[in-house]
């Protein structure tokens, strides 16, 4: 038995895509640190497609910069950079490439979360080889114009918004321009980063439509009816260590009208992302070393979020609380940690 596989025997080679692959130069990049599984996957798929198999994300990024690939298959947990970091890089620079991911986590909510942040498909180990074939087949069917020519769309909505005070040090994008609303809720996103023990930060940006929605809700207004100036900053940052929230910032300068303490900043960002929804987008960045000093009590992310939402209700806001914020799944269900 090969680790990661349900069975060693592989499907009978069909060769049905060989001509299509040759004509359209469809090629596959495989990223797997286990040498045996890497070889099996390469042997399986090379019967129909040109394949390149590497053992690390670092090698994969080098190949993507210099080579041409149509589909990427990657493990998530590997030494060095993770498959999630690779996904983030691909979504930033080669957005047209579908990414098929796999790991030992057999959890439906986790799989849905991986799909929502940009993966084409997710398979839990151990998997059967025909599952790989089926996933690659779906990628080809659902991406009829697959091309191995990588491109960078610098003007796309996925581009990282400028920020002069972005944290110092090497950071790697994990996900980009995730719309918080019908596709994935903020609670689900926090659960994913906690399970992945992410070290880095989530960067949030919102537009004028989100500010207008916030005004209508009244949840961000003071006694005089004026909206909290922090909402007008249109951006904020949540810092994580080992997946847990350690700090939150809306403006780094304490002299700014937008500046709020960590607790208040987190409350504003959570309420915006929960109640306003699809007017807020999220970018995620991983850092090798998180040197930022924790300013918040470190505990489960879902508990923090639940406390903020319920406290907001206890304060008697004008809008009645509903466990189903606009365009989002139920908060109670979304923040439950499996």
Cross-strand partners of 122: 101
Query: 156 falls in which pLDDT band (50, 70, 90)?
Result: very low
Q: Are 240 and 199 in contact (CB under 8 A)?
A: yes
Per-residue pLDDT, 232: 93
**Domain limits, the chain:** 18-142, 171-334
Angle between helices 301-314 and 186-195 (to 10 degrees): 150
Query: 18 falls in which pLDDT band (50, 70, 90)?
Result: very low
Nearest to 113 by CA among 193, 174, 45: 193
Q: Give the CA distances from residue 201 to residues 50, 284, 288, in Å, rounded to whole numbers and listed in that order.
A: 37, 6, 12
Q: Are 273 and 204 in contact (CB under 8 A)?
A: yes
More confident residue, 308 or 223: 308
**Residue 312 scores a pLDDT above 60:** yes
Q: Are 87 and 116 in contact (CB under 8 A)?
A: no
Residues 6+ apart with CB under 8 A from 94: 64, 69, 150, 151, 152
**Residue 60 scores a pLDDT above 90:** yes
CATH topology classification for 18-142:
Rossmann fold (3.40.50)
**DSSP, residue by residue, 76-132:** SS-SSS-HHHHHHHHHHH-TTS-EEEEES---HHHHHHHHHTT-SEEEESSB-HHHH
More confident residue, 202 or 144: 202
Secondary structure of residue 270 in the 3-state scheme: helix
């Amino acid at each position: 038995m090969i680790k990661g596989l349900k069975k060693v025997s592989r499907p009978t080679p069909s060769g049905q895509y060989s001509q299509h692959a040759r004509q359209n130069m469809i090629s596959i990049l495989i990223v797997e640190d286990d040498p045996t599984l890497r070889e099996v996957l390469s042997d399986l798929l090379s019967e129909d497609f040109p394949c390149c198999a590497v053992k690390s994300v670092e090698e994969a990024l080098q190949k993507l910069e210099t080579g041409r690939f149509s589909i990427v298959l990657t493990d998530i947990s590997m030494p060095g950079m993770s498959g999630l970091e690779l996904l983030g890089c691909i979504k930033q620079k080669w957005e047209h490439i579908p990414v098929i991911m796999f790991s030992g986590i057999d959890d439906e909510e986790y799989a849905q979360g991986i799909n929502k942040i940009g993966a084409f498909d997710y398979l839990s180990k151990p998997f059967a080889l025909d599952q790989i074939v089926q996933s690659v087949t779906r990628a080809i069917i659902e991406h009829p114009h697959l091309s191995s020519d990588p491109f960078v769309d610098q003007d796309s909505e996925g581009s990282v918004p400028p920020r002069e005070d972005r944290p110092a040090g090497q950071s790697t994008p994990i996900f980009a321009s995730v719309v918080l609303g019908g596709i994935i809720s903020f609670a689900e996103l926090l659960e994913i980063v906690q399970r992945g023990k992410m070290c880095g930060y989530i960067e949030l940006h919102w537009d004028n439509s989100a500010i207008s929605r916030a005004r209508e809700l009244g949840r961000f207004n003071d006694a005089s009816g004026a909206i909290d100036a922090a909402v007008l900053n249109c951006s904020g940052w949540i810092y994580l260590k080992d997946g847990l929230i350690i700090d939150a910032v809306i403006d780094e300068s304490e002299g700014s009208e937008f500046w709020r303490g960590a607790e208040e900043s987190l409350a504003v960002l959570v309420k915006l992302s929960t109640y306003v929804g699809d007017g807020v987008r999220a970018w995620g960045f991983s850092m090798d070393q998180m040197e930022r000093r924790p300013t918040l009590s470190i505990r489960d992310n879902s508990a923090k979020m639940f406390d903020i939402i319920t406290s907001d209700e206890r304060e008697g806001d004008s809008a009645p609380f509903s466990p189903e914020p606009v365009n989002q799944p139920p908060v109670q269900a979304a923040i439950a940690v499996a």
